[in-house]
Structure 1
Amino acid sequence: MAFGEQPAYLRVAGDLRQQIVDGSLPAHTRLPSQARIREQYGVSDTVALEARKVLMAEGLVEGRSGSGTYVREHPVPRRVVRTGYRVPGSESGPFRQEQGDDEVKGTWEAYSEQEEASPGTAERLGVQPGARVMRTRYLFREEGEPVMLSTSWEPLTVTGRTPVMLPEEGPLGGRGVVERMAGVDLVVDNIAEEVGARPCLADEAVALGGVPGQIVLVAHRTFYAGGRPVETADVVVPSGRFRLAYRMPVG
Structure 2
Amino acid sequence: MREQSSYLRIADVLGQRIADQEWSPGDQLPPRSQLAKECGVSEAVIRRAQEALIAKGVLEARSGAGTYVAHPRNRLLMVRGQEREQQESPFRADMAALGLKGTWDARSDAMVPAPADIAARLGVPEGDYCVRTAYEYLVDGKPSHLSTSWEPYSLTGGTLVVMPDGGPLAGKGVVRRMAEIGVTVSRARERTEPGHANAEEAVLLGVQRGALVTRIERTYYSDEGRAVETADIVVPAAGCAIEYEVPISPR
Q: Give the structure-2-normalised TM-score.
A: 0.86
Is the CA contact 2:95–2:139 (under 8 Å) kept in the aligned structure 1? no
Q: Counterparts of 2:213 and 2:114 in 1: how far apart (Å)? A: 24
Measured after TM superposition, the shift of residue 78 of structure 1 is 2.1
Q: Counterparts of 1:190 and 1:154 in 2: how far apart (Å)? A: 16
* Structure 1 segments of 4+ aligned residues over 6 angstroms from their partners: none
Aligned to 1:54: 49
Of residues 200, 203, 208, the one that matches 1:203 is 200
Look at both structures and tell me which one has the larger radius of gyration over its CA atoms.
1
Instruction: Assess, with a 3 A threshold, how the Cα gap between structure 1 residues 174 and 65 changes in structure 2: closer, same or farther.
Output: closer
Q: Counterparts of 1:238 and 1:11 in 2: how far apart (Å)? A: 24
Is the CA contact 1:85–1:248 (under 8 Å) kept in the aligned structure 2? no
Instruction: Assess, with a 3 A threshold, how the Cα gap between structure 1 residues 129 and 177 changes in structure 2: closer, same or farther.
Output: same
Instruction: Assess, with a 3 A threshold, how the Cα gap between structure 1 residues 243 and 67 changes in structure 2: closer, same or farther.
Output: same
Measured after TM superposition, the shift of residue 158 of structure 1 is 1.1
Q: Counterparts of 2:109 and 2:11 in 1: how far apart (Å)? A: 46
Superposed CA deviations along residues 121-156 of structure 1, whole A, max 9, x for unmatched, are 001100011000000111111111111111100001
Q: Which moved more, 1:133-142 or 1:8-17?
A: 8-17
Q: Counterparts of 2:179 and 2:35 in 1: how far apart (Å)? A: 63
- Greater percentage in helix: 2
Superposed CA deviations along residues 56-114 of structure 1, whole A, max 9, x for unmatched, are 233133344554332222323221221211586xx512634xx7566254111111112
Aligned to 2:165: 168
In the comparison of the two structures, how many residue pairs are matched? Answer: 242
Q: Counterparts of 2:138 and 2:148 in 1: how far apart (Å)? A: 15
Q: Counterparts of 1:38 and 1:142 in 2: how far apart (Å)? A: 39
Q: Counterparts of 1:161 and 1:225 in 2: how far apart (Å)? A: 19
Amino acid at match of 1:230: V
- 2:82 equivalent to 1:103: no
* Unmatched 5+ stretches in structure 1: none
Instruction: Assess, with a 3 A threshold, how the Cα gap between structure 1 residues 179 and 63 changes in structure 2: closer, same or farther.
Output: closer
Is the CA contact 1:17–1:55 (under 8 Å) kept in the aligned structure 2? no
Aligned to 2:74: 76
Aligned 1:91-240 pairs, distance under 5 A: 92-93=88-89, 95-96=91-92, 100=94, 103-104=97-98, 105-114=101-110, 115-226=112-223, 227-240=225-238
Identity within the alignment, %: 39
Q: Counterparts of 2:239 and 2:84 in 1: how far apart (Å)? A: 26
Amino acid at match of 2:9: R
Amino acid at match of 1:24: E
